[in-house]
Chains A and B, each alone.
Chain A
Amino acid sequence: MTWEEMLPLLWPATVETAQMVGWATLFTAVLGLPLGVALVVFDRDGLRPLPALKSALGFVVNIGRSLPFIVLMIAIIPFTRLVVGTTIGTAAFVVPLTVGAVPFFARLVETALREVGRDVVQAAQAMGASRTAIVRKVLLPEALPGLVAGLTVTVVALVGYSAMAGTLGGGGLGDLAVRYGYQRFETLLMIVTVVLLLVIVQLLQSLGDWVARRLSHK
């Protein structure tokens, strides 16, 4: 295969991967952040201790995290069909990607929020700040560098998941590598795809590290 033949394959695949990862990241952030906050706030020594609720949430998160992604993807097919109406194509795979990444990100959010010193939270309580104000003005801003780092790890994991999703009909770089590299023995294309994935991951990681560093004032 020549470069002229490869480019028309590589470009759309890259766009599909970017779309899958992009949307999944967005939904993961929107759903995982509140879940992570809930895990901290409802904890026994949290702002609003509700240990039973916290255990229930923790249990759900653990289920999500213990299933291998490939199993999860297949297991939630009925749910995917319910949400997007189909189970193939890029859009359909945003659902399992999100479902897989939300518990992962929520745990990272939980860890980042726990890093915020008890003393600053108590100082805010002593100033008469409400629980909502403490979450919005203390916990989240103080944990921001950690949250960005957590999101970066999640995005990188999503790139990996999306490659897997590709093989089941989601399209993208993973699909390309399997169809051409594995099934048609196009070794060069395989290598190029692998390098491309590596470069994407590297760029995302560096970007995340840079942003986290910029936000940190320690």
Chain B
Amino acid sequence: MIQASGLRKQYGTTVALDGVDLHVREGEIYGVLGQSGAGKSTLLRCVNLLERPTAGTVTVAGQDLTALGDRELNRARQRIGMIHQHFALLSSRTVAGNVAFPLEVMGVPKRERERRVGELLELVGLQGRGKDRPHQLSGGQKQRVGIARALAGNPAVLLSDEATSALDPATTQSILALLKRLNAELGLTILLITHEMNVVKSVCDSVAIMSAGRVEESGAIADLIKTPGSRLTREIFPLPEPAPAGSVTLTFTGDPRQPVVSEVVRKFDVDLSILGGSIEDLAGGSVGRLRVALDGAEAGAALAYLRGTGLIVEVAGETREGRAA
């Protein structure tokens, strides 16, 4: 649905994007993570060409945006929704007026506009608030107006730049739930930028982790979790890094009730100490990560057994290892 290739963006001597490729599939929620200044916003703004990339192409819904003239670009943008960290609502208009704005831009007749605004406000749970002014709403409600406005043109794609960063945790969750619902009900493809791991965990199907203008790692979360040494896994789980030398870190997906630890202790002459671990609920299911130390005569055999169980086993101090070879 969104395909960016070889994106570069330079501001003078600052390189904000340094050859970024991004592939967002239809109907997925794709998160972009990264530290401040990594180039996340620049990337998002290149997707609807608010920022024209120095090099590279952007294709949205099969249309190469970088090749379009002003007029066609504006038409294409009407099919790409965007929501903003500070909502960016017009204070000169009512809630209904804000949602009507993109419809006016598209030239939708007044009667049709009013009907559509009512529909959209209901979709985001703001029915009856049309006559209010933005300043009379809470942050969460303002963002709902932003979302209704973004959906006015029946977009195939929604772009979100830190849309929940200005909100408290409970409101963040309700906005995320709304986005998830829209994703499921309308098949809306969502590309969202965030610096909160929580957002990635609760809604994203795929992620890209950016650093210094490059994508360091990207793909479906389920796949990245299974990739030993992935940065995403390290970021999601609150285990101390780097792991102490010789410690064993086990990652298991699917049913968290897998009695591997007790099996190992029963079958082999080893002492097993738990150094840390947790189970995280991700959008695609729960994933556990456990760090242990194995000591005793049969430690090597126990490790080999663990590798045979299909868990992802990483031994600190060794070179990166995959599933049991």
- In the bound complex, do residue B88 and residue A128 qualify as a contact, i.e. CB atoms below 8 Å apart? no
A98 to chain B, nearest CB (A): 28
Partner of B104, one of A120, A126, A137, A142: A137
- In the bound complex, do residue B92 and residue A130 qualify as a contact, i.e. CB atoms below 8 Å apart? no
- In the bound complex, do residue A123 and residue B82 qualify as a contact, i.e. CB atoms below 8 Å apart? yes
- In the bound complex, do residue A142 and residue B101 qualify as a contact, i.e. CB atoms below 8 Å apart? no
- Assess whether B311 is interfacial by the CB under 8 Å rule: no
- Bound-complex Cα distance A125 to B82 (A): 10
- Bound-complex Cα distance A123 to B73 (A): 15
Interface string of A86-121 (1 = CB under 8 A from B): 000000000000000000000000000000010110
- Assess whether A122 is interfacial by the CB under 8 Å rule: yes
- Assess whether A141 is interfacial by the CB under 8 Å rule: yes
Given contacts A123-B84, A217-B133, contact A128 B102 (CB under 8 A): yes
Chain A residues with CB below 8 A from B153, complex form: 127-128
- Assess whether A153 is interfacial by the CB under 8 Å rule: no
Partner of B102, one of A120, A127, A144: A127
Select from chain A the residue with minimum beta-carbon distance to B92.
A141
- Assess whether A138 is interfacial by the CB under 8 Å rule: yes
A81 to chain B, nearest CB (A): 43
- In the bound complex, do residue A126 and residue B92 qualify as a contact, i.e. CB atoms below 8 Å apart? no
Chain A residues with CB below 8 A from B92, complex form: 141-142, 144, 217
- In the bound complex, do residue A120 and residue B88 qualify as a contact, i.e. CB atoms below 8 Å apart? yes
Interface size on B, residues (CB 8 A): 30
A211 to chain B, nearest CB (A): 14
A203 to chain B, nearest CB (A): 27
- In the bound complex, do residue B89 and residue A127 qualify as a contact, i.e. CB atoms below 8 Å apart? no
Interface string of A135-171 (1 = CB under 8 A from B): 0011001101000000000000000000000000000
- In the bound complex, do residue A217 and residue B135 qualify as a contact, i.e. CB atoms below 8 Å apart? yes
A159-218 with Cβ < 8 A to chain B = 217-218
- Assess whether A74 is interfacial by the CB under 8 Å rule: no
- Assess whether A57 is interfacial by the CB under 8 Å rule: no
- In the bound complex, do residue A123 and residue B88 qualify as a contact, i.e. CB atoms below 8 Å apart? yes
Partner of A117, one of B77, B80, B88, B93: B88
Partner of B86, one of A119, A129, A130: A119
Chain A residues with CB below 8 A from B75, complex form: 128
- In the bound complex, do residue B89 and residue A129 qualify as a contact, i.e. CB atoms below 8 Å apart? no
Partner of A217, one of B73, B80, B91, B104: B91
- In the bound complex, do residue A120 and residue B80 qualify as a contact, i.e. CB atoms below 8 Å apart? no
Select from chain A the residue with minimum beta-carbon distance to B88.
A123
- Assess whether B59 is interfacial by the CB under 8 Å rule: no
Given contacts A137-B104, A141-B93, contact A128 B135 (CB under 8 A): no
- Bound-complex Cα distance A117 to B91 (A): 11
Chain A residues with CB below 8 A from B89, complex form: 120
- In the bound complex, do residue A127 and residue B50 qualify as a contact, i.e. CB atoms below 8 Å apart? no
Select from chain B the residue with minimum beta-carbon distance to A121.
B88
- Assess whether B48 is interfacial by the CB under 8 Å rule: yes
B70 to chain A, nearest CB (A): 8
B222 to chain A, nearest CB (A): 31
- Bound-complex Cα distance A153 to B89 (A): 28
Partner of A126, one of B50, B90, B134, B135: B50
Select from chain B the residue with minimum beta-carbon distance to A144.
B92
- Assess whether B76 is interfacial by the CB under 8 Å rule: yes
- Assess whether B108 is interfacial by the CB under 8 Å rule: no
Chain B residues with CB below 8 A from A128, complex form: 73-78, 102, 105-106, 153
- Assess whether A6 is interfacial by the CB under 8 Å rule: no
Interface centre among A127, A137, A218, by most chain B C-beta atoms within 10 angstroms, is: A127
Chain B residues with CB below 8 A from A56, complex form: none
- In the bound complex, do residue A127 and residue B133 qualify as a contact, i.e. CB atoms below 8 Å apart? no
- Bound-complex Cα distance A89 to B133 (A): 49
- In the bound complex, do residue B90 and residue A141 qualify as a contact, i.e. CB atoms below 8 Å apart? yes
B69 to chain A, nearest CB (A): 12
- Assess whether A50 is interfacial by the CB under 8 Å rule: no
B33 to chain A, nearest CB (A): 22
- Bound-complex Cα distance A119 to B88 (A): 6
Please list 10 pairs of residues, one from A and one from B, whose beta carbons are closer than 8 Å in the complex, sorted by A's number: A119-B86, A126-B82, A127-B77, A127-B105, A127-B149, A128-B75, A142-B90, A144-B92, A217-B91, A217-B133
The interface of chain B, by Cβ under 8 A from chain A, is 48, 50, 70, 73-78, 80, 82, 84, 86, 88-93, 101-102, 104-106, 133-135, 149, 153, 159
For the complex of A and B, 3 pairs with smallest distance between CB atoms = A128-B77, A123-B88, A141-B92
